[in-house]
Amino acid sequence: MEKRVKGSCTTILVGKKASIDGSTIISRNDDGHEALDPERLVVVNPAEQPRHYQSVISKVQVELPDNPLRYTSIPNSILKDGIWPAAGINSDNIAMSATETITTNSRVLGIDPFVAGGIGEEDLVTLVLPYIHSAKEGVTRLGALLEKYGTYEPNGIAFSDKDEIWWLETIGGHHWAAKRIPDDAYVVAPNRMNIDDFDFAAADTMASADLEEIIAKYHLNPDFDRVNLRHILGSSSIKDTVYNNPRAWYGQKYFTPEVEQDPMEQDLPFICHANRKISIEDVKFVLSSHFENTKYDVYGSGSESDKTLFRPIGINRNHDVHILQIRNDVPAEIAGIHWIAFGANTFNTVVPFYANVTDTPASYKDANGIFNLNHMYWLSCTTALLGDTDYDFYVDMRNSYELAAMSAYRKIENDTDAALNQHQADAPSYLAAANQQLADKAMELQTKLLGDMVIAGSEKMKLRYNLND
Q: Please list the active-site residues.
A: 9
Answer for the pair 203, 35: CB distance below 8 angstroms, yes or no: no
What would the 3-class secondary structure string for the chain be?
Answer: CCCCCCCCCEEEEECCCCECCCCEEEEEEEECCCCCCCECCEEECHHHCCCEEECCCCCCEEECCCCCCCEEECCECCHHHCCCCCEEEECCCCEEEEEEECCCCHHHHHHCCCCCCCECCCCHHHHHHHHCCCHHHHHHHHHHHHHHHCECCCEEEEEECCCCEEEEEEECCCEEEEEECCCCCEEEECCCCCCCECCCCCCCEEECCCHHHHHHHCCCCCCCCCCEHHHHHCCCCHHHHHHHHHHHHHHHHHHCCCCCCCCCCCCCCCCECCCCCECHHHHHHHHHCCCCCCCCCCCCCCCHHHHCCCCCCCCCCEEEEEEEEECCCCCHHHCEEEEEEECCHHHCCCEEEECCCCCCCHHHHCCCCCCCCCCHHHHHHHHHHHHHHCHHHHHHHHHHHHHHHHHHHHHHHHHHHHCHHHCHHHHHHHHHHHHHHHHHHHHHHHHHHHHHHHHHHHCCCCCCCCCCC
